[in-house]
Amino acid sequence: MNIILLGPPGAGKGTQARHLVEKRNMIQLSTGDMLREAKNSGSEMGNRVATVMARGDLVTDEIVIGLIKEKISGENGGGFIFDGFPRTLKQADALDSLLKECRKSLDFVIEMKVDDDALVSRITGRSSCGACGEVFHDVTNPWPSSGECPKCSSREQVRRADDNEESLRQRLMEYYKKTSSLIGYYYAKGDHVSVNGLASVEEVQESIAEVLNG
């Protein structure tokens, strides 16, 4: 089963994708994570995208389509979760072609519906484990007072360079200008379903499970 998790920054795409990886052996393909890895590795491409990402702008279609192309023909376990991709119509068309080439198909595009008002506190309170990527929130799911990640015992708590109010506003602007039209695109294709992303993490997990279990 191959799915897209679609929603604005802070909708909970990464949180839900990690749960699906654990529970269903699915493979998370997050273009945001891939770009951050490139940035941290100091590669030429990583350096080019670093300032674009920190500002909250979208990276070029060519770069992200190239990143997905590298992964999509490989092992897909219980299926791919496309997290943060596609974000433009060009990326959506490219994904369609890439899946066809590999004789794979898309099963669901799950839109995570949230209020913009909730996103500021979700994003400005977010941190994650620098070793395993587990996601935390200062208020709703704080980094343990022991200083150790409960999943992997690392003591490296990290915050993203674009997790501030100014970048978030730009990321939201990019979402509404370039990405939100994909909701109509996938609705017309018959792949679209939506879940309430404002519910608790566990409730959202259940809603997604209901979609996937039919």
**Binding of ligand AP5 by 39 (CB under 6 A):** no
Q: How far apart are CA 208 and CA 24, in angstroms?
A: 12
Buried b or exposed e, range 199-211, using 16+ CB within 10 angstroms: eeeeebbebbeee
User: Cα–Cα distance between 37 and 46 in angstroms, integer?
Assistant: 8
51 scored as a contact of ligand AP5 (CB under 6 A):
no
Window 119-178: residues binding ligand AP5 (CB under 6 A): 122, 125-126, 135-137, 140-141, 162, 171
Let me know if 160 is a catalytic residue: yes
Degrees, nearest 5: CA angle 119-31-156: 70
CB of 34 to ligand AP5, least distance (A): 8
Compute the distance between CA of residue 25 and CA of residue 20 in angstroms, rounded to an integer: 7
Q: Does 58 bind ligand AP5 (CB under 6 A)?
A: yes
Which listed range, 40-48, 55-63, 96-104, 143-151, lies at the site for ligand AP5 (CB under 6 A)? 55-63
Question: Which residue shows structure tokens 């920054």?
Answer: 9
Near ligand AP5 by CB under 6 A: residue from 3, 59, 109, 129: 59
Q: Which residue is catalytic, options 13, 18, 39, 122?
A: 13
Give the range of 28-36, 97-105, 149-157, 184-192 binding ligand AP5 by CB under 6 A. 28-36
> 3 or 103: whose CB is closer to ligand AP5?
3
Reply yes or no on whether 169 is catalytic: no
Full 3-state SS string of 148-213:
CCCCCCCCCEECCCCCCHHHHHHHHHHHHHHHCHHHHHHHHHCCEEEEECCCCHHHHHHHHHHHHH
For residue 3, give the 3-state DSSP assignment.
Answer: strand
Q: Which is nearer to ligand AP5, 42 or 103 (CB)?
A: 42
Write out the residues near ligand AP5 by the rule CB under 6 A: 7, 9-15, 31-32, 35, 52-53, 56-59, 64, 84-85, 87, 91, 122, 125-126, 135-137, 140-141, 162, 171, 200-201, 204
